[in-house]
Amino acid sequence: MTSTLEVRVEIDANGRRVLTHPEADSITREVLIERAKAMVPALRERAARTEEAGRLLPETVQAFTDAGFFRIVQPKRYGGFELGVDVLEEVVIEVGRGCGSSAWCLAILGGHTWWSGLFDEAGQDLLFGDDGHVIMATNLSGNGRCHRVDGGYEVSGKFVYLSGCDVANWLCVGAMLQEDGVVPEDAPWFYMALRPQDVTILDDWHMLGLRGTGSKSVTADKVFVPQCLALPQFAIAEQEAPGRYVHANPLYAAPMLSFLSIETTGAAVGIAQQAVDILEDIAVSKPVRTREAGLTGATQSALPSFRRRLAEAKSLANAARVLLLDEARKLVTTMQAYAPQGRKMTPEEIVEYGLNSARLVDLCVQAVDHCFAAAGTSSTFLGRPMERCWRDMHMLSTHNVYRLDLMGERWAAAHFEAGGHPQTPAKGAPAR
Amino acid sequence: MTARATVDITISTDTQGRRILTHPEADTITRQELVRRARALIPVLRQRAAASEEARRLLPETFEDFTQAGFFRICQPKRFGGFEMGMEVLQDVLIEIGRGCVSSAWNLGILTGHAWWAAQYPEDGQQEVYGNDGVALLPTGIFGAGGRASKVDGGYELSGRWQYQSGVDVSNWYGCGALLEVEGEPPAGITFIVPASEGYIEDNWQTMGMRGTGSKTVVIEQTFVPERRAMLLSDVDAQNTPGSRVHANPLYSTPLFAYISIEVTGAAVGGAYQAVDALEELGRTKPVRARGGGGGETPAMQSSVPSFRRRLGEAKSLADAARALLLAESERLMALSAECKATGRKMTREEIAEVTLRQTRCIDLCVETVRQAFTAAGTSATVTGHPIERCLRDVYTLSTHRVLSLDNGAEAWAIAHYGL
């Protein structure tokens, strides 16, 4: 699957090669959201097939590609739109209203064009190629092993949960450096970009929900990775990714966890809103049954308990949406304030993005649970959109980044290690 | 598949000339022994749970195990080959069975509870339904009036379609609710018992959870039902069913809607305990992954993580609360029935609704239990077939049953309370 758009390749005044997407200067947040909204009916129609296929469908990849969705947070210089992560989330939310799995994949794959912008210039030249079409699936937890070879590294390992790997043209995995076959203590590790043809994808994604994400395992056996496609983890940890010096936009200086914890969360909000949409349909289409009379003329909207559940779910989904977009904009404005001063985020500031993402996913779980409870047994038949939303939402909530237990603990640890006092916002940082 | 009673029922005639079926264990069986038998089945039920889901029905071997253990007879009149024990015994057994397989427990609750339900019918109807072996297994569709009936000479003519007939694959009778059409009058609710051979099954049970219950649709296209297998809902509401006059034990005077609302709740409590058991095991067997540094496994287990311990403790206490509430409520219902029978009073609408409300509260506690367990278990427990993902699907699906929904239970209780 390739981009069907003509990307212009030029050399700028500094002699750098520049890729320009034809819409790079005209695209707006509103247009992207409009395109996402327009896709919802088709995504709903494909949702069952997407689950069955256990991967993002080719026609959906094509639709996302044509709409420019993979380029939202991609550097302009490499054919992207370079818009804020808040725009990505608004698009993901709409897509999630149609299909949770497709939204999850879009969030990951669309978000990782930002990730690709963190490599050094030579690496980005390679990653973005001549068309700027990067679809990168990742597992960043560092389960692999690598050793130095001439011009780069050789990486081996098994990597789990690579959402979208079937449609990706790059895979990024974490690997620790071995020396003489041993992993020394405090070994450096790297995020390494591989080509899908160099790895084996295992068919091991048979799960409760988000089946259409195809988040399968990948194995690599002594795959060569050039130096420029090995992004050192310590640079990420120190907020010193090479990409922050390649691009002027402060978004590329954002800490990894702050960005990644926001990146996929729009899928949760989209699923919650989808469940609310479905319940709205049920309200006016499902008849009320009584013990003796059977079907009555009334529909579920006549029942007080139904109305309460609908309102509760709707307000929860709305609260989650507001919190997500607030966090996304906060990341954009914080980086705009910090980057010019060379200021780094504290561990507490970074993990707060994770904590609030976990919080809003929990709100989305509650929203879907209310919808599920109100919808009744008829909505539990396989293939009904409500049961799919329920499975997708509960599945999503198990991701480590969204577990309130983990994020609560990590935030509190960072907070008390920092002295435990409420933070004084830095000059220029947005007030909370 | 029709494995039938494999025990020898003694048939005798009592001093009043009535035919009496006696189960060989009728006088010796105890609650403790039944619970012990249920507990002993847990490992095999767990091992069969995936096959049960796949088959989308109560497995023949599980049906045979339940039959051998006498479980279907717990609430059935002694006179018709049963043990005639209280609701708390059935619930105690269901909790253990649900710890092994929620779907199997559900079928057991429904079928055993309805072997009590059959005792509400006229005496000659009961004689027919319990037959010579005391096997009366019937799913029932009372709600929603799936059928239409009209009066004919000596009985009724019945047609209809009843959804959600749990246990239909092993049943020998169907319980069928219908609207009785009488000229010039509003239709009246009526329930029948019909031989399974007079209907057919539509295999449409493809659901998110509770797959092993095989709660398929039953269709009957015009059959004759004699008076003796008919019961008017007006008699049920008046707490004056034919059967309540047949049996001396106040067990059979319990208002039907109180009885059946609580008959299957133990399946959910069992599911909650099953999730707690699975989580407890993860505490001992699932390694903690290191943060950073490659994220590999560490020697520490989940039990060393405070938030895991809190979720486990929370889940366990929720399951314990649900169990205590369910058993207390079962005993209270039995005591209330005895008191009503002794004093000749009827239970109030509010008293009946309170039983339902409290068991819906149990269900809600069970949903919360499995949610806590699922949250603590992580993504590895979402692999299809993991007991925690199955419990989550099962208990959530179960909670949508209209009689088990807290929304419906609360609304019905409040309406009764205010006399609205």
CB distance A380–B399 less than 8 Å? no
Question: Are both A298 and A371 inside the same structural domain?
Answer: yes
CB contact under 8 A, B294 and A143: yes
Q: Tell me, yes or no, whether A142 lies in a domain.
A: yes
User: Does one domain contain both A86 and A172?
Assistant: no
pLDDT for residue A428: 47
- B78 vs chain A: nearest CA distance in angstroms? 31
Question: A284 in contact with B at a CB cutoff of 8 Å?
Answer: no
What is the average pLDDT score of chain B? Answer: 94
Q: Search chain B and give the residue with CA nearest A392.
A: B382
Q: Which residues of chain A have pLDDT under 50?
A: 1, 424-429, 431-432
Q: Say if A185 is an interface residue toward chain B (CB within 8 Å).
A: no
Residue at a domain's end among A128, A158, A193:
A128
Nearest CA of chain A to the CA of B91: how many Å? 23
- Shortest Cα–Cα distance, B70 to chain A (Å): 31
A207–B384 C-beta distance less than 8 A: yes
Give the CATH number of domain B140-232.
2.40.110.10
Task: Specify if A431 maps to a domain.
Answer: no
User: Which pLDDT value is given to residue B59?
Assistant: 98
In this chain, the answer to whether the domains covering B140-232 and B259-290+298-417 adopt an identical fold is: no
Asked if B208 lies within 8 A of A309 by C-beta distance, the reply is no
Q: How far apart are CA A384 and CA B339, in angstroms?
A: 47
Is the minimum CB–CB distance between A152 and chain B shorter than 8 Å?
no
Q: By CA distance, what is A308's nearest residue in B?
A: B407
* Distance between CA atoms of residues B340 and B356, nearest Å: 18
- pLDDT for res A5: 72
For testing contact with chain A, the best of B400, B403, B415, B418 (most A CBs within 10 A): B400
Within an 8 Å CB–CB cutoff, is residue A182 touching chain B? no
Closest-CA distance of chain B to residue A216, Å? 12
Nearest CA in chain B to A365: B371
Q: What is the pLDDT of residue B293?
A: 53
Residues of B in contact with A232 (CB under 8 A): none
Whether A107 maps to a domain, the answer reads: yes
Any B CB within 8 A of A422 CB = no
Set of chain B residues whose Cβ sits within 8 Å of the Cβ of A387: 207-208
CATH number for A224:
2.40.110.10
Q: Cα dist. A210→A96, A277, B211 in Å?
A: 11, 19, 20
Report the domain count for chain A.
3
Contacts with B, A 206-265, CB within 8 Å = 206-209, 233, 237
Determine contact: A104 vs chain B, CB below 8 A: no
CB A96 within 8 A of CB A267: yes
**Do residue A287 and residue A220 come from a single domain?**
no
pLDDT tens sequence across A357-411: 999 999 999 999 999 999 999 999 999 999 999 999 999 999 988 999 999 999 9
Task: Determine, for residues B179 and A373 on separate chains, whether the beta-carbon distance falls below 8 Å.
Answer: no
- Do both A62 and A22 map to the same domain? yes
For position A184, what pLDDT does the model report?
75
Structural domain that includes position A366: 256-417
Which of B179, B208, B378 faces A391 most closely, judged by CB atoms? B208
Cross-chain CB nearest to B400 (options A208, A376, A408): A376
Any CB–CB contact under 8 A between A400 and chain B?
Answer: yes
By C-alpha distance, the chain B residue nearest A176 is B294
pLDDT at A297: 79
Residues A292 and A410 in one domain: yes
Does one domain contain both A95 and A201?
no
- In the predicted model, what is the mean pLDDT of residues B150-170? 95
> Is residue A390 domain-shared with residue A289, that is, in the same domain?
yes
Judgement on whether residues A13 and A158 belong to the same structural domain of the protein: no
Which CATH number covers residue A57?
A: 1.10.540.10
Query: Is there a domain that residue A206 lies in?
Result: yes
What are the backbone dihedrals phi and psi of residue B153, each rounded to the nearest 5 degrees, phi first?
-55, 120
- The model's pLDDT over B350-389, given as tens digits with 9 standing for 90+, comes to 999 999 999 999 999 999 999 999 999 999 999 999 999 9
Q: Which residue of B has its CA nearest to A305?
A: B407
Indicate if A408 and A308 belong to the same structural domain: yes
- Count of CA atoms in the C-beta half-sphere (13 A) of A385: 24
Contacts of B145 in chain A (CB under 8 A): 291-294
Q: Is B347 left (phi over 0), alpha (psi -120 to 50) or beta?
A: beta
Task: Say yes or no: A264 and A393 in one domain.
Answer: yes
B326 pLDDT more than 90: yes
Q: What is the predicted pLDDT for the residue at B1?
A: 40
With residues binned 3-state (H G I as helix, E B as strand, rest as coil), the percentages for chain A, rounded to 5, are 55, 20, 30
CB-nearest partner of B383 from A207, A306, A408: A207
- The pLDDT, as a whole number, for residue A187 is 80
Return the closest-CA partner of residue A218 out of A204, A232, A199: A199
Q: Answer yes or no: is A195 within a domain.
A: yes
* A-B contacts (CB, under 8 Å): 132
Q: Cβ contacts (< 8 Å) between A390 and chain B: which residues?
A: 208, 396
CATH number of the domain to which A380 belongs: 1.20.140.10
- Residue B7's pLDDT band (boundaries 50, 70, 90)? confident
Chain A neighbors of B401, CB-CB under 8 A: 377
Same domain, A280 and A396: yes
**Domain stop point among A202, A234, A266:** A234
Question: How many angstroms away from the CA of A279 is the closest CA of chain B?
Answer: 14
Residue A424 is assigned to a structural domain of this protein? no
Whether A245 is covered by a domain: the verdict is no
The 10s digit of each residue's pLDDT in B77-96 is 999 999 999 999 999 999 99
Whether residues A301 and A211 share a domain: the answer is: no
Query: How do the domains of chain B map onto residue ranges?
Result: 10-130, 140-232, 259-290+298-417
3-state SS of chain B is CCCCCCCCCEEEECCCCCEEEECCCCCCCCHHHHHHHHHHHHHHHHHHHHHHHHHCCCCHHHHHHHHHHCHHHCCCCCCECCCCCCHHHHHHHHHHHHHHCHHHHHHHHHHHHHHHHHHHCCHHHHHHHHCCCCCCCCCEECCCCCEEEEEECCEEEEEEEEEEECCHHHCCEEEEEEEEECCCCCCEEEEEEEEHHHCEEECCCCECCCHHHCCEEEEEEEEEEEHHHEEEHHHHHCCCCHHHHCCCCHHHHCCHHHHHHHCCHHHHHHHHHHHHHHHHHHHHHCEEECCCCCCCEEEEEHHHCHHHHHHHHHHHHHHHHHHHHHHHHHHHHHHHHHHHHHHCCCCCHHHHHHHHHHHHHHHHHHHHHHHHHHHHHCHHHHECCCHHHHHHHHHHHHHCCCCCCHHHHHHHHHHHHCCC
Fold assignment, B259-290+298-417: Butyryl-CoA Dehydrogenase, subunit A; domain 3 (1.20.140)
The answer as to whether A53 is a domain residue is: yes
Q: From the CA of B1, how many Å to the nearest CA of chain A?
A: 26
Could A390 and B206 be called an inter-chain contact, meaning their C-beta atoms sit closer than 8 Å?
Answer: no
Residue bearing tokens 């609430």: B75
Element spanning A365, H or E: helix A347-375
pLDDT at B8: 87
Of the partner residues A142, A306, A403, the one whose CB lies closest to the CB of residue B294: A142
Contacts of A209 in chain B (CB under 8 A): 382
Q: Which of A128, A147, A170 is where one domain is finished? A: A128
Chain-chain contact of A294 with B179 (C-beta, under 8 angstroms): yes
Across the interface, of A305, A391, A406, the residue whose CB is closest to B411 is A305
ipTM of the complex, rounded to two decimals: 0.86
Q: Does domain B10-130 have CATH number 3.50.50.60?
A: no
